[in-house]
Chain A
Amino acid sequence: MKHRPVFNRVVMALVFLFLYAPIFLLIIFSFNAGNSNMVWKGFSLHWYGQLFHNRLIMQSVYTTLLVSFLATLIATAAGTFAAIGFYAMRRRVRSPLMTINSIPIMNADIVTGVSLCLLFVGFFSFWGSFAGWFNSLGLFQIPVRLSMGFTTMLIAHITFNIPYVILSVGPKLRQMDKNLIDAAQDLGCTWMQAFWKVVLPEIKPGVISGALTAFTMSIDDFVISYFTAGSSASTLAVTIYGMTKKRVNPQINAVSTLLFVTVLALLAAVNIREARQEQRLAAQRKQS
Chain B
Amino acid sequence: MKHKLSLFAIPYVVWMALFVVAPVIMVVIYAFSSSGGGFTLANFARMGTYTVVFGRSFKLALIATVVCLAIGYPVSYMMSKEGPRFQRVAMVLIMLPMWMNFLLRTYSWMAILENNGLLNQFFQKTGLISLWNHLFGTEFTYFPMMGTQGAVVLGMVYNYLPFMILPIYSVIIKLDPSLLEAARDLGADSLNVFRRVILPLSLPGVLSGITMVFVPAVSTFAISTMLGGGTRILLGDLIEQQFTGGAYNPQLGAAIALVMMIIVVVCMAVMNRFGEGEEQAVVL
Contact = CB atoms under 8 A, between A and B. Distances in A.
Interface residues of B, number: 91
Contacts of B268: 102, 106
Interface in A137-171: 155-156, 158-159, 162, 164, 167-168, 170-171
A37 interface: yes
Question: What is the predominant secondary structure among interface residues of chain B facing chain A?
Answer: helix
Interface in B70-112: 71, 74-75, 78-79, 81-82, 85, 88-90, 92-105, 107-112
B1 A181 contact: yes
| Chain A CB within 10 A, most for which of B21, B103, B116, B236 | B103
Interface string A95-114: 00100111111111111101
Given A97-B9, A118-B26, A267-B96, A111 B102 contact: no
Given A117-B243, A220-B101, A108 B260 contact: yes
Contacts, number: 251
A119 B100 contact: no
A92 to B, nearest CB: 12
Chain A at the B interface: SS class: helix
A263 B239 CA distance: 33
Interface string A35-58: 001100000000000000000000
- Counting chain A residues whose Cβ lies within 8 A of the other chain, the interface size class is 35 or more
A100 B13 CA distance: 9
A213 B284 contact: yes
A100 B264 contact: no
A81 B8 contact: yes
A83 B12 CA distance: 9
B134 interface: no
Contacts of A78: 11-12, 15
Contacts of A11: 74-75, 78
Nearest to B106: A22
B41 interface: no
Nearest to A25: B108
A174 to B, nearest CB: 11
A115 to B, nearest CB: 3
Contact of B215 (A15, A108, A195, A236): A108
Interface in A224-278: 227, 236-237, 240-241, 244-245, 248, 252, 256, 259-260, 263-264, 267, 271, 275
Contact of A109 (B108, B110, B219): B219
A116 B19 contact: yes
A152 to B, nearest CB: 10
B17 to A, nearest CB: 9
A267 B3 CA distance: 39
A71 to B, nearest CB: 13
A38 B117 contact: yes
Contacts of B20: 100-101, 103-104, 159
B254 A101 contact: no
Nearest to B225: A244
B191 interface: no
A251 to B, nearest CB: 12
A20 interface: yes
B182 interface: no
Given A11-B78, A19-B162, A107-B215, 15 more contacts: A8-B81, A12-B75, A12-B78, A19-B93, A20-B97, A38-B121, A78-B15, A85-B9, A88-B9, A97-B16, A116-B23, A118-B23, A191-B4, A216-B99, A263-B99
Closest 10 CB pairs of A and B: A85-B9, A37-B111, A115-B23, A82-B12, A108-B219, A85-B8, A22-B108, A88-B5, A88-B6, A8-B78
9 contacts: A15-B161, A18-B161, A88-B5, A100-B20, A101-B16, A102-B268, A118-B30, A244-B225, A267-B95
